[in-house]
Amino acid sequence: MQIRYECDLTGEEYVTQKAWRNASLKHCPLHPEGGCGFTRNGTYERCFPPGTRIARWYCRRGHCTFSLLPDCLSARLPGTLAEVEAVVGRVEQARSLEAACSGLRIEIELPGVLRWVRRRVQAIHAALNTIKGLMPERFAGCEPLLGAFAEHLGVDGVLPVLRSIAAPYLPSLPAPLGFSPRPSQGGEPNRSHQHPAGPDPPALLV
């Protein structure tokens, strides 16, 4: 289970500072009363950004592992939220999806690039739509687009800020912003993807 690690570092700073060492979970999310054999369970590695590690806890009674994901990193997808935001922002500003994709991920063919980009755009726009619905008083009149949210919030990096604003809803918001494995509506069929290191859940959006 992924848990938010509240931290305002960039991905690079998180790695440089080895900030997973400062992550803490005071009690078991399943058994706040304690007595369940809740214990720190080391870290696991993520490949991107290189050197990333994620702090992890284990509840013996619940047979459940908890990973503390910092606000800068994508859930169920390699890399940072800033990288996802750059791709989605590029699509929002381009005249077409194809135009936005030119020059992106040149190591794969255009149909693959389109799928790669479309999954990210759909997941983020679905999350923004859901947040708008859950917090109408805060986002009424705001289009469910990153550009509109950025302007509304007065920030450049929208997604890490939304981890904070929408914190209570993260378990039900789609990855890579939220922690739900549920793919965005209208997406392509899931393909299982072997996570390169550690027991992170499969990356549904890769």
Among 10-18, 20-28, 44-52, 90-98, the segment contacting Zn ion (CB under 5 A): 20-28
| Closer residue to Zn ion, CB minimum distance, 14 or 38 | 38
31 binds Zn ion (CB under 5 A): yes
Residues touching Zn ion, count (CB under 5 A) = 7
Residues contacting residue 45 through CB under 8 Å, at least 6 positions apart: 52, 53, 54, 197, 198
According to the binding rule CB under 5 A, does residue 175 interact with Zn ion? no
Check: CB of residue 145 under 8 Å from CB of residue 125.
Answer: yes
Per CB under 5 A, the segment of 17-25, 36-44, 155-163, 173-181 that binds Zn ion is 36-44
One character per residue 90-129, x = contact with Zn ion (rule: CB under 5 A): ----------------------------------------
Question: Counting contacts by CB under 5 A, is residue 54 touching Zn ion?
Answer: no
Please, what sign has the CA dihedral across residues 102, 196, 82, 13?
negative
Q: Is 28 a binder of Zn ion (CB under 5 A)? A: yes
> Does 59 help bind Zn ion (rule: CB under 5 A)?
yes
Q: Does 36 bind Zn ion (CB under 5 A)?
A: yes
Q: How far is the CB of 119 from Zn ion (least distance, A)?
A: 34
Cis peptide before 49 (omega within 30 of 0): yes
For helices 158-165 and 81-93, angle between their N-to-C axes, nearest 10 degrees = 120
Helix H segments across 47-185? 81-93, 97-101, 110-134, 136-139, 146-153, 158-165
User: What is the Cα–Cα distance from 173 to 182, expressed in whole angstroms?
Assistant: 8
